[in-house]
């Protein structure tokens, strides 16, 4: 792969004044001016994200459901047509190779789409190919042909409905629907990574610019603005959603990250990582918790966490929460200090900042 890849919408972002950051080898918009304004727009109206760096991998064939039950941690064979599931690709040791979303894409129960993190595209494809031995499946990496645009926020449904001309009120969270856009394949999923209602739209690169512009125009009266990866990160952090490389990694057992429920130990048959997961992490393995602090100084990734003079953990992500107005962080801490309400400190560049353990997420939208 070249050192730096440009998303299909690069020219549009550049013209809109975006600043860019390298993300897994892609030049992606980090912000279009104010990451805070973009964050607030998603919480109160809507934001438009280009996340085309994400990897889309198709799995097709008569054995696809059985193969995915073996290759992934969840019971993928139980998915209905159009249904999505958050899942994990585990190593034999029970570590996390990637966290991903799987959609059942075909009526005949033989087509699935896996959406993986951009940085894990290669390891995921390799692992799937290795695990496919003996199964009648074809694995195809569609990432270079597929663009992914996310519309997130309370106004997102009205905006997407207007552009696609279809009522989405009956589309449930973590379900999608196959359609056509410009006569090309188009998948509309009610999913996201912000803690708000939202949609993720998959389509061919050729039509991405047109869809982006239509969403911008339809969304403007609703307060929709384009939003970059900086706000995406603070939004997902407030929503308590893990980010691979921060909260998740090869050394992390799902249970440590609070993802024990994602591993379907009750499903029949073997799956990669099963034995290690059943053996479980050691009882003193650190647990992922939320930390909140006072003031304005945020604990950030890799800052140590203390209980008195004893180092008991490490921050994996942190920021001054734009929505809540105080510092929040996710951290791995020793199990004996992981209870909500435990008083700890974070070493913020030499200053011990008092912090309290809280249950995740930090922010939950009002769904009434």
The residues that touch another protein, with contacts defined as CB under 8 A, are 19, 30-31, 34-37, 39, 230, 233-234, 296-298, 300, 319-320, 322, 349
Task: Output 156 or 321, the one with its CB closest to another protein.
Answer: 321
How far, CA to CA in Å, does 139 sit from each of 29, 59, 117, 177? 30, 5, 17, 22
Q: Starting from the edge strand earliest in sequence, which strands make up the sheet with 146-152, in order? A: 176-181, 184-189, 198-204, 146-152, 46-50, 224-226
Least distance (Å) from another protein to the CB of residue 55?
A: 24
Task: Output 20 or 70, the one with its CB closest to another protein.
Answer: 20
Least distance (Å) from another protein to the CB of residue 36?
A: 4
Q: By the 8 A CB rule, do 103 and 115 touch? A: yes
Least distance (Å) from another protein to the CB of residue 288?
A: 21
Residues contacting 77, CB < 8 A, separation 6+: 65, 66, 68, 69
Least distance (Å) from another protein to the CB of residue 192?
A: 19
What token pair was written down for 148?
A: 């992914």
**H-state helical runs in 256-307:** 274-279
How far, CA to CA in Å, does 232 sit from each of 39, 229, 237? 7, 5, 8
Could you check whether the bond before residue 147 is cis, i.e. omega within 30 degrees of 0?
no
**H-state helical runs in 132-279:** 156-164, 205-219, 229-238, 274-279
Task: Output 300 or 352, the one with its CB closest to another protein.
Answer: 300
Question: Torsion angle of alpha carbons 230, 233, 235, 238, nearest 10°?
Answer: -130
Task: Output 77 or 317, the one with its CB closest to another protein.
Answer: 317
Task: Output 50 or 233, the one with its CB closest to another protein.
Answer: 233
Least distance (Å) from another protein to the CB of residue 348?
A: 9
Task: Output 38 or 197, the one with its CB closest to another protein.
Answer: 38
Query: What is the C-alpha separation between 349 and 222, in angstroms, rounded?
Result: 41
Least distance (Å) from another protein to the CB of residue 105?
A: 35
Least distance (Å) from another protein to the CB of residue 39?
A: 8
Task: Output 152 or 191, the one with its CB closest to another protein.
Answer: 152
Task: Output 18 or 79, the one with its CB closest to another protein.
Answer: 18
Least distance (Å) from another protein to the CB of residue 365?
A: 20
What token pair was written down for 282?
A: 């050691």
Question: Torsion angle of alpha carbons 357, 358, 359, 362, nearest 10°?
Answer: -130
From start to end of 9-126, where are the E strands? 19-23, 26-31, 46-50, 55-60, 84-90, 96-104, 111-116
Task: Output 349 or 368, the one with its CB closest to another protein.
Answer: 349
Local structure of 277: helix, strand or coil = helix
Q: By the 8 A CB rule, do 88 and 144 touch? A: no
Least distance (Å) from another protein to the CB of residue 116?
A: 24
């Amino acid at each position: 792969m070249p050192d730096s890849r440009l998303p299909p919408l690069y020219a549009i972002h550049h013209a809109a004044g975006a600043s860019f950051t390298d993300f897994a080898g892609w030049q992606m918009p980090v912000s279009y001016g104010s990451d805070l304004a973009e964050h607030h727009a998603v919480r109160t109206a809507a934001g438009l994200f280009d996340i085309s760096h994400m990897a889309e991998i198709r799995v097709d064939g008569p054995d696809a459901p059985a193969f995915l039950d073996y290759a992934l941690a969840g019971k993928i064979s139980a998915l209905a047509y159009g249904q999505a599931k958050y899942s994990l690709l585990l190593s034999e040791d029970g570590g996390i190779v990637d966290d991903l979303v799987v959609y059942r894409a075909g009526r005949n129960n033989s087509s699935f789409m896996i959406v993986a993190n951009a940085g894990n595209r290669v390891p995921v494809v390799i692992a799937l190919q290795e695990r496919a031995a003996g199964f009648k499946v074809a694995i195809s990496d569609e990432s270079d042909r597929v663009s992914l645009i996310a519309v997130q926020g309370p106004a997102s449904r009205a905006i997407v409905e207007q552009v696609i001309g279809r009522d989405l009120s009956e589309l449930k969270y973590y379900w999608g629907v196959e359609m056509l856009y410009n006569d090309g394949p188009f998948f509309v999923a009610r999913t996201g990574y912000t803690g708000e209602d939202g949609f993720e739209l998959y389509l061919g690169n050729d039509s991405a610019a047109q869809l982006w512009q239509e969403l911008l125009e339809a969304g403007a009266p609703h307060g929709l603005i384009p939003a970059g990866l900086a706000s995406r990160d603070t939004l997902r952090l407030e929503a308590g959603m893990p980010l691979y490389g921060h909260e998740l990694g090869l050394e992390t057992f799902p249970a440590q990250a609070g993802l024990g429920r994602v591993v379907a130990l009750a499903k029949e048959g073997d799956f990669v990582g099963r034995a290690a997961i059943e053996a479980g992490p050691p009882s003193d393995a650190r647990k992922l918790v939320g930390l909140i602090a006072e003031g304005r100084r945020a604990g950030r990734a890799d800052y140590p966490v203390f209980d008195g003079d004893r180092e008991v953990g490490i921050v994996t992500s942190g920021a001054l929460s734009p929505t809540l107005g105080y510092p929040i962080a996710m951290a791995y801490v020793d199990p004996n200090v992981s209870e909500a309400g435990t008083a700890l400190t974070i070493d913020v560049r030499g200053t011990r900042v008092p912090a309290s353990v809280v249950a995740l997420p930090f922010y939950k939208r009002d769904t009434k």
